[in-house]
Amino acid sequence: MMSDIMQVLADDHANMRALMGVLEIEVDKMASGGHADVETISAVAEYLLEYPDRFHHPVEDLLIQGMQAAGAVPESSVVALEAEHARIYRLATELHDAAVAVAAEQPMRRDAFVERARHYIASLRHHMDVEEADFFPRAEEFLSPEDRATIAARLSDFDDPLFGTATRERYQSLSEALLNP
Ligand SMILES: [Fe+2]
Ligand SMILES: [Fe+2]
């Protein structure tokens, strides 16, 4: 059985923070004209579209909808969180496009990538800070463990391809980079 969804979300945040740390190191190398690990950059960009945008954020959207149904938050909070997730998805898509251009060694794309990556890193960190300070405590307060389990069950089991039970081949080197930053 899946552990409490709040724990899964907290673990996801810790994983995403570690990932942002690895990405930031590579971006700093690229910005200073050093040798950045393009493979790591590509894997991070792909992972962001694959897991946070397809599982983590949808779970949060369902939780806040459940909180609204329980009268714990106004509809404006639901709309705001969903809009923020849509914005992060758009930023991840743009980051991925920029990573593909860098991997293809298209000229003049490194500056664009550095700018997008820094914007993404700052946006995601801020988003997680706000959720941890406000949204997660309220979800714990207003939704019982049973409510949360019922909500989480609406999404099919989704194994994280990087931090989950088995790291997919695609993310093997990224997994190693996370262990040895
Ligand atoms: Fe979120
Ligand atoms: Fe989150």
pLDDT at 67: 95
pLDDT > 90 in the chain, percent: 75
State the total domains in the chain: 1
Alpha carbon of 107 to ligand 1 centroid (Å): 34
Average pLDDT across the chain, whole number: 92
- Which ligand is closest in space to the CA of residue 85? 1
Range 16-34 average pLDDT? 95
Domain that holds residue 22: 5-179
How far is the centre of ligand 1, averaged over its atoms, from the C-alpha of 56 (Å)? 7
Distance 81 CA to ligand 2 centre (A): 10
pLDDT digits (tens, 9 = 90+) for 70-118: 999 999 999 999 999 999 999 999 999 989 888 888 766 788 899 999 9
% of the chain beyond a pLDDT of 70: 97
Could you tell me the CATH number of the domain that includes residue 108? 1.20.120.520
Written as one string, the DSSP assignment of the chain is -PPPHHHHHHHHHHHHHHHHHHHHHHHHHHHTT----HHHHHHHHHHHHHTIIIIIHHHHHHHHHHHHHTTSS-HHHHHHHHHHHHHHHHHHHHHHHHHHHHHTT-TT-HHHHHHHHHHHHHHHHHHHHHIIIIIHHHHHHHS-HHHHHHHHHTSPP---TTTSSS--GGGHHHHHHHH--
